[in-house]
Structure 1
Amino acid sequence: MTVEDKTAKPSRSDKALQLIVHAFNVAGSEVSITLTTGGTLLSGMLIPPKKYIAGMGAALREGFLKLHADTAAADAAAKDFMDALESVVDTTSSATENAGPGALPEYIHLMNIAVRREDGQLLTINNTYWRGRIASVDGFHLGK
Structure 2
Amino acid sequence: MAKDEILSFFVQAANHHDFSTDITLHVKGALVTGTIISAASYFSNLKDSISEKNDVAKQLKEALKQAEESADSKQSNAEYIHLKNMSTYMAENKTTPANSDLLWRGKISDIDGFFLGRISDEE
Band of TM-score, shorter chain: 0.7 to 0.9
User: Of 65, 68, 82, which residue of structure 2 is paired with 1:109?
Assistant: 82
Unaligned runs of 5+ in 1: 1-10, 95-100
Deviations 1:66-123 (A, max 9, x none): xx5xxxx69x945x434313545641375xxxxxx4x320000011111114335334
Deviations 1:14-72 (A, max 9, x none): 111101111122112321010011111010010001110111112112xx5xxx5xxxx
RMSD value over aligned CA atoms? 2.6
User: Of 71, 75, 81, which residue of structure 2 is paired with 1:91?
Assistant: 71
Structure number with larger C-alpha Rg: 1
Q: TM-score, normalised by structure 2?
A: 0.77
| Percent of aligned pairs sharing the same letter | 28
Look up the equivalent residue of 2:38 and give its one-letter code: P
Following TM superposition, the consecutive aligned residue runs of length 4 or more in structure 1 with deviations greater than 2 angstroms are 80-83, 85-90, 117-125
Match in the other structure for 2:99: 125
Match in the other structure for 1:16: 6
Distance (whole Å) between structure 2 residues aligned to residue 91 and residue 16 of structure 1? 20
Unaligned runs of 5+ in 2: 119-123
Displacement of 1:127: 1.9
Q: TM-score, normalised by structure 1?
A: 0.67
Distance (whole Å) between structure 1 residues aligned to residue 34 and residue 73 of structure 2? 21
Match in the other structure for 2:108: 134
Look up the equivalent residue of 2:106 and give its one-letter code: G
